[in-house]
């Protein structure tokens, strides 16, 4: 039994997410209502993302409404 447990993949701990992976990246967020928002992720908490678009508008988006996060190359969007 112990041999099987040691071979298992390590599980993500509860409360972990991909915040560090998205911070400072240019992304397009596809929301549950079909709206797309493009900008840079400037802050992230457990439940919220703070996004700033190229006109310096700030959006606070609850993660439960995000359907997809699409990363962009730095050249595609200027913030």
What pLDDT was estimated at residue 52? 97
Residue 79 has what DSSP assignment?
-
Domain 16-71 listed as CATH 2.30.30.100: yes
List the end-to-end C-alpha distance of the chain, in Å, as a whole number.
Answer: 53
- pLDDT single digits (tens) 23-69: 999 999 999 999 999 999 999 999 999 999 999 999 999 999 999 99
Q: Could you please report the per-residue DSSP string of 25-63?
A: -EEEEEETTS-EEEEEEEEE-SSEEEEE-TT--EEEEEG
Q: Whole-model pTM? A: 0.69
């Amino acid at each position: 039994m112990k041999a099987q447990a040691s071979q298992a993949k390590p599980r993500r701990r509860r409360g972990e997410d991909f915040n560090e992976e998205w911070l400072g990246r240019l992304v397009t967020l596809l929301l549950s209502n079909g709206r797309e928002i493009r900008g840079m992720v400037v802050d992230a908490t457990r439940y919220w993302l703070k996004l700033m678009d190229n006109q310096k508008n700030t959006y606070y988006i609850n993660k439960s409404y995000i359907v997809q996060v699409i990363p962009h190359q730095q050249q595609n969007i200027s913030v």
